[in-house]
Amino acid sequence: MTSNAIIQLDHLVLTVRDIRKTIDFYTRLLGMREETFGDGRKALHFGSQKLNLHSVDRVVDPNVKHATPGSADLCFLVTGSLEEWIKSLSDRGVRIILGPVRRIGAQGAMRSIYFYDPDENLLELSTLDR
């Protein structure tokens, strides 16, 4: 057995149609922080992770073969109650498409709500059952 192990996700690249619209959605509604890095690229920070943003009309890495807006399904663990999140998102015009429902995540049992971002990526906000 090797001592090598994957310990956590550092970042994920999210392909989007409109970087500004995506940044507005994730910063204003979900509280992420915008960052500029590299050659003017944009990212969204939260906790110790980040989402690097890739505009569908700009080749960032020629090795990425199928960068497609709306193909992601992301789950974020959140603080506060899901009822507070539902109210906050609904007040800002975001339609909850499912939830609260019970799910099993990487850390165990949780409650989740689901909705779409501007590119129709499926977003799940979850609280752990403790």
Q: Mind listing the pLDDT tens digit for each residue in 56-88?
A: 988 767 777 788 999 999 999 999 999 999 999
Decide if 84 is catalytic.
no
- Tell me if 38 sits within 8 A of 15, measured CB to CB: no
- pTM tops 0.85: yes
Q: What are phi and psi of 20, to 5 degrees?
A: -60, -45
In degrees, to the nearest 5, what angle opens at C-alpha 75 toward C-alphas 86 and 112? 40
Could you state, in order of their start, the residue ranges of all structural domains in the chain?
11-128
Q: Could you tell me the two tokens for 80? A: 């506060």
The domain made up of 11-128 is a member of CATH 3.90.1300.10: no
Active-site entry in 35, 83, 84, 124: 124
* Chain centre distance of CA 26: 8
